Structure 1
């Protein structure tokens, strides 16, 4: 399917390739803050299925296995750096685990990779909230849905209705494959020696614990960039930290 209907990739800038894989938000929202890199790097934004101009999802909703297959076709033989955010990190890690030689480096931003900290109560709570949104959509418990949206970078003020744009995002995510099912071959990535940066925004303890645990598993560099919540790319100073990592890799 992915070979017959390839995903769209929009390239901007000049220099070594950096493939950007967004999560539940659009590439424009996810990667705001990285514009300064275009002068020295070619940023290649991959539009996951369901995000125009890419084709619709395969099956009922978003699927990290489909993302992994799509990313494999984007990587080709050029061995680019890859930067991935949120749900987009799952397919990225799966693809890298299958072909670690295909990536020059990995930057993983706030991944919903719950199993690396499975016994942590706050991680369990975050998983429950995320699973409820994916399985029930707007029919999920309203308080829980709003709690999850706040973590996911779309907080709704108390007493206010959920904005139309956020409603559309929940509907698009509804029916997606649950992140808890993802089991990327992390040991392969570590043993191959792929340079990895794990980044978070310092806004939610559960996310920090996932990122800390994943950094240990992958023997990765760890960065916390507060100031923009879940959308870490927009945090003050993050673009400079990312560029230093890319140059070192």
Structure 2
């Protein structure tokens, strides 16, 4: 497999930005001013140009392999949605190689067992991955709204359709079981963030923060794309500064 592309901008300690289903520009655009004080390293996951396409499918285990060599410089890592899964697997394999983790609304539904709404969210996400544009329209639109896609009542925008097709056949998030205890026991500083737009994500993020003994922050106003929400960039920078010089 060819290597993935990482585009760096700015100066200062490195912050590795790992996107989920949407690309880096959509996910991280609001953080651009931080490049005045930090090196923002924008990861392009497989299937997101200029990185090569995946050999078989979107797969968080392959993401973890791609991320592993990017951790040698001990960056801060900020990850969103599906991108959190590969990030956690890579971090658990070498917890000393990350300075801190900021985790935004990951699909770690198994952390909230016996919750009917979370279980439904998991089924919905797995259905869209399995069937793509052939997902029943009502279910597809419900999932896309939860995922922050810019849709209305009319035809789906071309970029949204392209995103669904890119994710089609991807590895189901329900199979992800990162070793959270390894990260917790290593004392990695963790910030878990949500956008207060869906109760299911709030409960998942609460459970993740508890499992990792991490800090918890909520920033409404941008739906699933929490990095664009008011106050997020300031909260992130406070967290990064606090953990930049730790051993």
Q: Tell me the residue number matched to 1:116.
A: 111
Can you give the 5+ residue segments of structure 2 that lack an aligned partner in the other structure? none
Q: What CA distance in whole angstroms lies between the structure 1 residues aligned with 2:125 and 2:155?
A: 20
Q: Tell me the residue number matched to 2:66.
A: 70
2:99 is equivalent to residue 107 of structure 1: no
Q: What CA distance in whole angstroms lies between the structure 2 residues aligned with 1:64 and 1:50?
A: 13
Q: Tell me the residue number matched to 1:191.
A: 185
Name the CA shift for 1:155/1:128 in 2 (closer, same or farther; >3 Å): farther
Q: Tell me the residue number matched to 1:30.
A: 27
Please, which of 79, 84, 87 is the counterpart of residue 92 of structure 1?
87
Q: What CA distance in whole angstroms lies between the structure 2 residues aligned with 1:9 and 1:157?
A: 33
Matches within 5 A, 1:1-249: 1=1, 5-59=2-56, 61-76=57-72, 78-158=73-153, 160-249=154-243
Larger deviation, residues 114-123 vs 44-53? 114-123
SS of structure 1 residue aligned to 2:183: helix
CA contact (8 A) 1:97 1:189 kept: yes
Aligned-pair CA distance for 1:133: 0.5
Aligned-pair CA distance for 1:157: 1.9
SS of structure 2 residue aligned to 1:112: coil
Q: What CA distance in whole angstroms lies between the structure 2 residues aligned with 1:172 and 1:219?
A: 34
Q: What CA distance in whole angstroms lies between the structure 2 residues aligned with 1:118 and 1:170?
A: 27
Can you give the 5+ residue segments of structure 1 that lack an aligned partner in the other structure? none
Aligned length: 243
Aligned-pair CA distance for 1:163: 1.1
Cα deviations by residue, 1:10-65 (Å, 9 ceiling, x for unpaired):
00010000000000001000002101211110000110000001011121x10000
SS of structure 2 residue aligned to 1:33: helix
Aligned-pair CA distance for 1:118: 2.4
Q: What CA distance in whole angstroms lies between the structure 1 residues aligned with 2:45 and 2:151?
A: 25
Task: State the superposition RMSD in angstroms.
Answer: 0.8
Cα deviations by residue, 1:201-221 (Å, 9 ceiling, x for unpaired):
100011111000100000110
CA contact (8 A) 1:58 1:66 kept: no
